[in-house]
Structure 1
Amino acid sequence: MNSTTTDVVVVGAGVAGVSAAAELAAFRHVVMVEQEVLPAHHASGRSAAVLSETSGHPVVCSLTHLSRPFFEQPVPGFTDHRLLSPRGLVWVGEADDGAALDALAIAAARVAPTVGRLSPSAARRMLPSFGADAVAGGGVHEPDAMTIDAAALIQGYVRLLHHRGGSLLTSTEAVRLDRTDQGWTVTAGTSTIRAKVVVNAAGAWGDVVAARAGVAPLRLEPRRRTAAIARVSESVALWPVVMDVGGRYYCQPDPGGLLISPADESPSVPCDAQPEEVDVAQALDRVRDATGLPLRSIVRAWAGLRTFAPDGAPVMGEDPDAPGFWWLVGQGGAGIKTAPALATMLARQVEGIGPTADQVELGVTYEALSPTRLRC
């Protein structure tokens, strides 16, 4: 058994873990452990990543807004090409969805002032193949939504971690975490790692890691999300991302065709999620009915777990009952677009540095993200 001492152990190398490890490495020595062979094997590596400031919990929208500057201009050497590509996003709704679209447009004004409400006719002009029923409630246009190169983001954070002297141990599962007078001892693979701080960035396995540390769970809720690439006979390359405000489906262009999803949120245990045939068929039916496209066959399908805290907002902060045990979980499928802001905030808080004025103005405070809110 190898033994080492470090300042911080980060458990989990999804996008939350790699970004947090890289930012913490600017201040301390960091070791990150991941049970899989490669980083981002699960949800992070299967995300249709879109930088949208209108989708998700209000805290998620604010964190996305705070993350945008990093995506637009990452630190030198982070990547050799752009992380963002223009795409745009249009929310649509049926006749009974007008109020939901109105509320979405009003809420968006706080962080995305270019967002605008669309009449049904304006929505159809933007999406001419869509049926009248699919846009009977009109839409909401987010012109500044971008697609994110998730692979480049994750690779950039791993590169930054190494550049700052940190290390990543793959195929190394954290099977035991023991609290000591000096901090924590983590048994992972063939290694025993001693550290003052442990960051639990294990995604759907967050409560599992907590149990191994003797820390009370947060009652995290992993939910399966299904996606597929459908063949299309006509070009959709210039389409925006399209999301149904009623949660019936979403779709967006993909190099292999049209990415489609039934926007499912099926409860799941932590696992290597796989697509269910019924969910793929439902996505095909719903998107075909809405768009009018003659969708028939699927190129490939996959699924991932989106993990939520009970109140829907991300969790970041030190456990109130376990000094030195920090949570970074519950991003609810928004881990990629919120990673820069959450990672920076975590590193600042671990170092005893307060939030920025921008964070406070948007209500994204340490208290708002703290696990303490879930201990009532």
Structure 2
Amino acid sequence: MAEMIYDFAIAGAGMAGASLAAELAPYASVLVLEAEDAPGYHATGRSAAFWEECYGGPGVVPLTLASGRYLRENGFLTERGALYVGRGEDRDQVDEFVDTFSGTGVTIERLGRTGMAARVPHLRKEWCDAIWEAACADIDVAGLHQHYLKSAKMQGAQINCRARIAGLNRDAGVWTIATEAGDAYRAETVINAAGAWADNLAQLAGAAPIGIEPLRRTVVQLRVSPAAPADLPLVLDINGAFYFKSDNGRLWLSPHDEIPTVPCDAAPEELDVATVIDRFQKVTDWHIEAVERRWAGLRSFAPDRLPVYGRDPHQEGFVWFAGQGGFGIQTAPAAARLGAQIILGHDADDLTRGIDPAPYNPSRFFTIAAASQSSQASGDM
């Protein structure tokens, strides 16, 4: 019996790999190779995810807005609302925020102290200027991930865990994929949905790395007195120094940090925990009774902080689906549909029709590199 050659082998079974597998499986044979014991161990499994229209910046807004309808219609969102808060000296930053998102399609409202205090109890009085985003909602991350894994499997995709890729070799239009466990697979196209390990996988394939950088983010769970209200909105600093939200009477708090690191099983550091608690105490007068949990995850960004979807311009049979930063879950439905359409050559549909794929094409990095090299060569003449 001839060895099976898959149409696509996807590296990674987190939200990116699972959602893309579900979109590709109706049209092709799909193999998903996950390095860990179970899908979603890293970024997906550690997310405090919310669907927030402004998160990721204007370049991500089209993906977020397109995904919102899918998430809402399929029951993956719970309304919460988001409040970007600032002090008197932050007025320019609040103004800039409004200007940045004007015309992008997001719905935001300027609030003063009275509106802020009505939504967030225990806010210290110097916090007096804000942006209200009513549409912000929590995402059922585990439910969404399982939805895509189940869909992929039902449509014939094979998902193998404990299958960390150790070698990639292409011959006669087919990849031979070797794993650390000693298994070997064959596929016509390898799709890089490896998250923090995306550049490492590219190098195994003989492709040039893009410069996707893993960044560590810390979250702590606090028990506070009085207990955090269930209807507390997501509260974010307009300068990006913290965010917090309620969860079953507790508070989830993050310093909104982005600490460069190597790809790894991320763990929180005491300095980051102490830093965010200090910041929180300068924002609210809540009494902290205990730090009950702490964890960290990796967010992986391309140099321009936009995702990377599409075929590598120089390595045949190698596709990027990576660099989705902290917005990979809130954009998953539109990103996966768009990615599959790019890979398969399909036309846009109702979900993706308003999204221009050009800003996410990996060729943008190689064009920049080529232009830089040409400029340097001209300067040496």
Tell me the TM-score normalised to structure 2 length.
0.91
Aligned residue runs from structure 1 range 228-243, under 5 A? 228-236=220-228, 237-243=230-236
Match of 1:124 in 2: 117
- 2: CA distance, partners of 1:358 / 1:95: 41
The runs of 5 or more residues in structure 1 that have no matched partner are 75-81
- 2: CA distance, partners of 1:94 / 1:127: 15
Match of 1:61 in 2: 61
| Contact 1:3–1:192 under 8 Å retained in 2 | no
Aligned residue for 2:166, secondary structure, equals strand
- 2: CA distance, partners of 1:275 / 1:207: 23
Aligned residue for 1:205, secondary structure, equals helix
Q: Report whether the alignment pairs 1:342 with 2:348.
A: no
Match of 1:77 in 2: none
Q: Report whether the alignment pairs 1:370 with 2:361.
A: yes
1:165 to 150, 156, 159: 156
- 2: CA distance, partners of 1:151 / 1:360: 27
Match of 2:169 in 1: 178
1:356 positional shift: 4.8
Q: Please list the CA deviations of residues 265-320 of structure 1 after superposition, one character each: whole Å capped at 9, or x if unmatched.
A: 11100000000011111111111220211114211000001111001111111000
- 2: CA distance, partners of 1:58 / 1:367: 15
Aligned residue runs from structure 1 range 1-376, under 5 A? 3-74=3-74, 82-133=75-126, 135-136=127-128, 138-188=129-179, 189-236=181-228, 237-255=230-248, 257-356=250-349, 359=352, 361=354, 364-375=355-366, 376=368
- 2: CA distance, partners of 1:62 / 1:99: 26
Q: What code does the residue aligned with 1:27 have?
A: Y
- 2: CA distance, partners of 1:179 / 1:5: 13
- 1: CA distance, partners of 2:266 / 2:250: 23
1:120 positional shift: 3.2
Aligned residue for 1:6, secondary structure, equals strand
- 1: CA distance, partners of 2:349 / 2:152: 23
- 2: CA distance, partners of 1:71 / 1:360: 17
Aligned residue for 1:157, secondary structure, equals helix
- 2: CA distance, partners of 1:173 / 1:143: 42
| Contact 1:57–1:313 under 8 Å retained in 2 | no
- 1: CA distance, partners of 2:270 / 2:260: 16
| Contact 2:122–2:285 under 8 Å retained in 1 | yes
Aligned residue for 2:282, secondary structure, equals helix
1:193 positional shift: 1.6
Aligned residue for 2:329, secondary structure, equals helix
Aligned residue for 1:219, secondary structure, equals coil
1:194 positional shift: 1.5
| Contact 2:173–2:317 under 8 Å retained in 1 | no
Structure 1 segments (4+ residues) deviating >6 Å: none
Q: What code does the residue aligned with 1:279 have?
A: D
| Contact 1:307–1:332 under 8 Å retained in 2 | yes
Aligned residue for 1:226, secondary structure, equals strand
1:190 positional shift: 3.4
Q: Please list the CA deviations of residues 203-249 of structure 1 after superposition, one character each: whole Å capped at 9, or x if unmatched.
A: 00000101111110001111100001001121322200000011111
CA RMSD in angstroms, aligned pairs only: 1.7
- 2: CA distance, partners of 1:39 / 1:95: 45
1:323 positional shift: 1.9
Q: What code does the residue aligned with 1:36 have?
A: E
- 2: CA distance, partners of 1:247 / 1:148: 21
Q: Please list the CA deviations of residues 308-367 of structure 1 after superposition, one character each: whole Å capped at 9, or x if unmatched.
A: 100111111100001221101111111111111110001111111234587564xx4222
| Contact 2:301–2:324 under 8 Å retained in 1 | yes
1:112 positional shift: 4.5
Identity, % of aligned pairs?
38
| Contact 1:57–1:312 under 8 Å retained in 2 | no
Alignment size in residue pairs: 364
| Contact 2:67–2:351 under 8 Å retained in 1 | no
Change in Cα spacing, 1:297 to 1:3, as seen in structure 2 (3 Å) is farther
- 2: CA distance, partners of 1:119 / 1:327: 44
| Contact 1:37–1:171 under 8 Å retained in 2 | yes
- 2: CA distance, partners of 1:125 / 1:325: 52
Change in Cα spacing, 1:357 to 1:69, as seen in structure 2 (3 Å) is closer
1:95 positional shift: 2.3
| Contact 1:65–1:111 under 8 Å retained in 2 | no
